[in-house]
Structure 1
Amino acid sequence: MQKELAVKNLDKIVTKVEAARLRVSQHHIVKIIAISKYSTAEDISALYEVGQRAFGENKVQDLKTKEEKLDELPIEWHFVGRLQKNKINNLIDLNPTLMHSLDSLELAEELNKKLEAKNKKMSCLLQINSAYEESKAGVDPKNAIEIYKEILNSCKNIRLKGVMSIGAHTDDKEVVKKSFLTTKNIFDEVVPLGAKYCSMGMSSDFELAIACGSNMVRIGSSLFK
């Protein structure tokens, strides 16, 4: 990706995010994570050069490859994909800034065990299946608060930083909005427990997600086209 295109893409997204967050409140800050899973190290570097700092990958191997290629840049790496148990140690070694997809208590316990063994800690978000879709990972919203507290109490090597969800897969805006508000309501309840991030919204629906209270959006195709 050439610099001109990187500037154009990032400006466009930042302008839209700014407008959306100001409609909520001038104090509402939104962080943009550039989802680089279909992009090259060169594309990431181009976006970095024009000011984007946080990037997300959804496969452990891809994260490793790109992290190694771009190790001279102080990039803030996020892991956003489904984590297989046999890849946990590999992810721990990569030391991501934030892992977005802690999708069950079982995974949290397994991750915590491996973190303990390596004497490391990891910041994570609890993934919530707020759209109640079988194709999506995440905990049931009805059990989310209980699971959040359980992880806080029993998984001392995991630093829970908030929640993440993917909007409902439909063109019906009201249904998508409902799924976002479900996550936001859970987020509000865990803020007193130290939650900072409500990560929801992607290229197709981030403005609606911000309107519903998201303070972290995951933008892929719009930044890397």
Structure 2
Amino acid sequence: METKNFVTTLDEILTRVEKARLSVDQHLIVKIVAASKSADPSMIEAMYNAGQRCFGENKIQDMSDKVHALEHLPLEWHFIGRLQTNKINQLIDLEPSLMHSLSSLELAQEIDKRLHVKHKTMNVLLQINSAYEEQKAGVMPEEALEVYEQIALTCKHLQLKGVMSIGAHSEERAIIQKSFETTHKIFESLQNQGAKYCSMGMSDDFELAIACGSNMIRLGSILFK
């Protein structure tokens, strides 16, 4: 795909993000993470040439392949998928700018142990299952504040940067909105503990997520269409 197509696509998305952002707060800054699981390195490079700098991968092996294929570019890599315990060391070695899917205290402690051995730290977001859906990972909303605090106290190699959630899997806007509002409320409670990012909103629902206070969105299919 040619860069000019990505320029047009990115411009269209930025216009929509800008409109959604301004309807909430003119001071709100919304960061776009390009979810690049369906993109090969040449597409990512074309998107980079169009102006996008931050990319997110769902699978460790795919992320590893793309990080190495594109190491000549100053890209910011995020890990946005579910992390298996046997892949923790690999993720640490890839040194992501941010890991979005820290889904439990147990996983946090496991990552922290490996970070300690490797003398490294990692920026992370606590994943919240704000829609109470069985198929989704994450801590339950009513436990989120306590888990966040426990991670901050017990995992010295993890730098908590905020929260992440996936909008409710529903056709009803009100249900999706409620799940976003639940996450954002938790985010607001954690800002005095340094929470900086509220990562929510994907290709189908990012405008609603921004309206509910999201300042980081993960866009895949509409960017790499």
TM-score (norm 1): 0.99
The equivalences for 1:4-19 within 5 A come to: 4-19=4-19
What residue is the counterpart of 2:88 in the other structure? 88
Q: In 2, Cα distance between the equivalents of 1:62 and 1:196?
A: 27
Structure 2 counterpart SS, 1:21: helix
Q: Which amino acid aligns with 2:9?
A: N
Deviations 1:90-146 (A, max 9, x none): 000000000000000000000000000100000000000000000100001010000
Question: Structure 1, unaligned stretches of length 5 or more?
Answer: none
Q: Does 2:124 correspond to 1:124?
A: yes
What residue is the counterpart of 1:59 in the other structure? 59
1:12 deviates by 0.9
Q: Which amino acid aligns with 2:198?
A: C
- 8 Å CA contact 2:163–2:198 kept in 1: the answer is yes
Q: Which amino acid aligns with 1:43?
A: M
- 8 Å CA contact 2:59–2:81 kept in 1: the answer is yes
Q: In 1, Cα distance between the equivalents of 2:110 and 2:201?
A: 28
1:4 deviates by 1.7
Q: In 2, Cα distance between the equivalents of 1:62 and 1:160?
A: 25
Structure 2 counterpart SS, 1:20: helix
Identical counterparts, % of pairs: 61
Deviations 1:28-71 (A, max 9, x none): 10000000001100110000001000000000000000000000
Q: In 2, Cα distance between the equivalents of 1:97 and 1:144?
A: 23
1:83 deviates by 0.3
What residue is the counterpart of 1:133 in the other structure? 133
Q: Which amino acid aligns with 1:219?
A: L
Q: In 1, Cα distance between the equivalents of 2:17 and 2:104?
A: 30
Q: Which amino acid aligns with 2:121?
A: K
Structure 2 counterpart SS, 1:46: helix
Q: Which amino acid aligns with 2:12?
A: K
Q: In 2, Cα distance between the equivalents of 1:104 and 1:59?
A: 18
The equivalences for 1:56-205 within 5 A come to: 56-205=56-205
Structure 1 counterpart SS, 2:202: coil
Q: In 2, Cα distance between the equivalents of 1:28 and 1:3?
A: 28
- 8 Å CA contact 2:4–2:50 kept in 1: the answer is no
1:168 deviates by 0.2
Q: Which amino acid aligns with 2:48?
A: Y
- 8 Å CA contact 2:202–2:220 kept in 1: the answer is yes
Q: In 1, Cα distance between the equivalents of 2:184 and 2:197?
A: 10
Q: Which amino acid aligns with 1:106?
A: E
1:3 deviates by 1.2
Q: In 2, Cα distance between the equivalents of 1:146 and 1:188?
A: 14
Question: Structure 2, unaligned stretches of length 5 or more?
Answer: none
What residue is the counterpart of 1:213 in the other structure? 213
Query: Which consecutive segments of 4 or more residues in structure 1 shift more than 3 A?
Result: none
Structure 1 counterpart SS, 2:113: helix
1:5 deviates by 1.1
Aligned length: 225
Q: Which amino acid aligns with 1:145?
A: L
Cα RMSD over matched residues? Answer: 0.4
Q: Which amino acid aligns with 2:190?
A: V
- 8 Å CA contact 2:102–2:127 kept in 1: the answer is yes
Structure 1 counterpart SS, 2:222: coil
Q: In 2, Cα distance between the equivalents of 1:66 and 1:9?
A: 22
